[in-house]
Amino acid sequence: MSILEKLLEAVESGKVDQKSPYPPHLKGMDGSFELTREAINSGIPPQKILEESLIPAMGKVGVKFAENKIFVPQMLMSARAMNASMIQLKPFFTSGDIRSKGTFIIGTVKGDLHDIGKNLVAMMVEGGGWTVVDLGVDVGSERFLAALKNNPGAIVGLSALLTTTMINMGEIVTAIKNQNPETRILVGGAPVNDDFCRKIGADFYAPDPQKAVIYLNKLAS
């Protein structure tokens, strides 16, 4: 098995590093951290590492999650393994050795402090080759607009877990569209649905992280 195949397996399985006990069948073996470093040191182009290991691995994870073959804990482990690789690849994004598909700004909307869903989407999108600007939680219109000013042409993702905070999505969408009518906006979260997405003027409802990645990749193609 090649380094890139091992790395793909490590990320898909959620093997972060050699010390990580999960998953049991890879115990004591190198994880995504060591394998990414080995791949870089062996001269494999960073773009190839991304395209042949990380993106396919997170694609498989996303499909499994959408089909209910794995659940949030397993997905989080895979996302952590991917993040261990991305830490080492990020310098190559800024140097231009890796071509980013675009910029994705994401945040949990004003009044909402939940971040698990938002974090999963952010990590899946980053693993798909995008530059992610994560604004965190309790984010209002002003911070989204400021992020767009600093990242012209970016796509925006809004997350909410509560019915009491999802209404703030409408205010944020309106503010963004008033200043940047061409900006594409994704919405998601437990109480959100496609009807609500259309009602507030957003462009796409993502029921799970994989659907968000698929939509973004269509925009980038």
Domain regions of the chain by residue span: 3-95, 103-220
* List of residues 6+ apart from 215 with CB closer than 8 A: 186, 204, 206
Residue corresponding to tokens 């830490």: 87
Q: CA-to-CA distance for 48 and 219, rounded, in angstroms?
A: 22
In contact, 79 and 123? CB cutoff 8 Å: yes
State how far the Cα of 163 lies from the Cα of 190, in Å rounded to an integer. 9
Quote the tokens at residue 77. 């482990």
Residue 9 corresponds to which tokens in the numbers above? 């397996």
pLDDT at 143 (0 to 100): 98
Rounded Cα distance, 91 and 52, in Å: 19
Mean pLDDT by 10 residues, the chain (221 residues): 96 95 92 97 95 93 90 90 92 85 97 92 90 97 98 97 94 98 96 97 94 93 82
Q: How far apart are CA 213 and CA 207, in angstroms?
A: 11
Q: Are 183 and 156 in contact (CB under 8 A)?
A: yes
Helix/strand/coil for 116? helix
Is the CB of residue 197 less than 8 Å from the CB of residue 205? yes
What is the token pair recorded at 67?
Answer: 């089909």
Say which CATH class 3-95 falls into. Answer: mainly alpha
CATH class, domain 103-220, is alpha beta
Q: Residues 6 or more apart from 20 whose CB is under 8 A from it?
A: 31
The token pair that represents 153 in the structure block: 């042409």
Q: Please give the model's pTM, rounded to 2 decimal places.
A: 0.84
